[in-house]
A and B are shown apart, each in its own frame.
Chain A
Amino acid sequence: MAYVVSAAFLAITGFFFVASVSDAFAEASIRGYLAGAIFFMIFMSPALTMRLLAEEQKLGTLELLLTSPLREFEIVFGKFIAALVTTMVMVGLSLYFVLVLFVYGDPDVGPLLTGLVGLTLYASATLAVGLFASALSSNQIVGLVVGSGILTALTIIDFVSARLSGTAAQVLDAFQLGASFSVFDLDSFGVAEGGHFADFARGIISLTDIAYYSSITAVFLLLTVLVLEARRWR
């Protein structure tokens, strides 16, 4: 599973990277790569995590874990770290793009680094959502659909907010996950302008964005723990 996902991840980010740098006046940056990565993670993260808790429930091994001297948050955190490490290995494999940039151009190191920091935070948030979805049922497909569903909703939230005005629009905008469905539009590089990823892609680290991704991660990991605990009390 992880190999298949890795291959797909490399192919898709590669495509975006190439598309973004093959322009006549292309800039030597990884913005195209980042756009591909955050877009694909909407589906990839739930696909990676869908098995983690659903399978334990299906095999009955969750009963084993929950009757071992382990706390729920230790189980959830362990699963989360495993998924995050796997994802970072994939990201690591794709970093030859950066080498390519250094060989053929003169990229700005700042945005490169902030982009990767942002990507790590973004990956954490999406994996936490995926893990939560996986805890909901013993069916992996449910985990995948629910996880991608939540992430897609957070991604297209600007479709809704664009039609609203005032506070409502601002509140909705504050939840924009980061990717944009206009991924093939090379002007925006597939990163939603109002979303929390835009600054990272530009080379800016903003506390708001860090807080947003960290909160999503924390809230969904907590919800996952609660779902497991609720299972006990039922």
Chain B
Amino acid sequence: MSKSYGPYPAVIDISFEVLRGEIVGFLGPNGAGKTTTMRVVTGFTPPTEGDVTVGGYDVVSHSLDVRRHIGYLPETVPLYLDMTVMDYLTYMGEIRGMNKSWVKERLPKVIDMVKLGEYRNTLVGRLSKGYRQRVGISQAILHEPDVLVMDEPTIGIDPIQVVETRELISNLGEEHTMLLSSHILPEVSAICKRVLVINDGRIVADDKPDDLSEKLQHAERIEISIRGAEAPAFINAMRDISDVVDARSDQRASIVQRAEREDFLPFIVDARPNAQATETIAKTIINNGWGLTNLTPLPMTLEEIFLELTTEENLGD
């Protein structure tokens, strides 16, 4: 399917299938088309071209059936701030077509699951971001939907709560078919069995998280600080190592400043990702009698990952 907002294409000719019980992660930078795709799947907005079906129902012609089977947590958690947690969830259950006795039976279980017990009578507006997120998750799972769609469920909450939220989502994955979006690779790897990478409105990869990481590790970037060496000599020495792809001076302003103050030379070395490379680099430095003050592998940023995936696709064509 494709989706455009006026003349602006948001998602271009993407196609994927999620099987019952699968947990699929949707990974992409901001503006890649994740939210748009989820809005189409949940029936909030129809696709411009193509068809989308959820549980056999078309999202346009059988929108109500689709919506009955989906639990959705939008990116900005939609909450009525002047309602208590219980009132809000009861209301959400009712508009999802749950009858009173079902709500009564189900609500305590959900509140227990997301550990909101002590806040059940607190106004939603008084809760911290992490707890609001839990209320948001509660409304999504309340009516026991077959399919759960969660848009950036851990965005903007503190690290401890992120861990708890991820755990909660992992547990939910045991009972639901799940589509989850994120712009954090480790998060998707931790929760999902399958990852779709989306960039600029197109799906650029569809893989298991492990395979994806392997594909991405063409090179490891290492930050190195040296005392008592000339820059050209160091760079040449590094380039002589067979596992090193490239070596150069680190030009990042903050590092350069610190280097001048603390009198060391900063470098960036790209090496093939194996343990030997790092070991050989360290040995070479020591053998040359240079002072090694820092050797840190740098994590790849998401932008670099996407660049890598997209350029690789292009090479393949």
Contact = CB atoms under 8 A, between A and B. Distances in A.
Interface of A: 59-71, 232-234
A62, A67, A70 pick with most chain B CB within 10 angstroms? A67
Contact of A59 (B46, B81, B92, B96): B81
A68 B5 CA distance: 23
B80 A69 contact: no
Contacts of A64: 72, 74, 78, 92, 139
Contacts of B46: 232-233
B148 interface: no
Contact of A70 (B45, B76, B78, B95): B95
B44 A59 contact: no
Interface stretch (B62-70, B207-215, B243-251, B298-306): B62-70
Contacts of A66: 43-44
A69 B59 CA distance: 12
Nearest to A68: B95
A contacts with B: majority SS: helix
A31 to B, nearest CB: 39
Contact of A234 (B5, B76, B96): B5
B3 to A, nearest CB: 11
Given A67-B43, A232-B45, A234-B5, A61 B78 contact: yes
B67 A67 contact: yes
Interface residues of B, number: 26
B55 to A, nearest CB: 13
Interface string B40-84: 001111100000000000000000110110101010111111000
A87 B15 CA distance: 50
B97 interface: yes
Contacts of B97: 69
B74 A69 contact: no
A65 B5 contact: no
B49 to A, nearest CB: 13
A70 B66 CA distance: 11
A60, A64, A70, A234 pick with most chain B CB within 10 angstroms? A64
Contact of B80 (A61, A67, A71, A232): A61
30 contacts: A59-B78, A60-B74, A60-B77, A61-B78, A61-B79, A63-B39, A63-B44, A63-B72, A63-B74, A63-B78, A64-B72, A64-B74, A64-B139, A65-B95, A66-B43, A66-B44, A67-B44, A67-B70, A67-B72, A68-B67, A68-B95, A69-B64, A69-B65, A69-B68, A70-B95, A71-B64, A232-B44, A233-B46, A234-B5, A234-B6
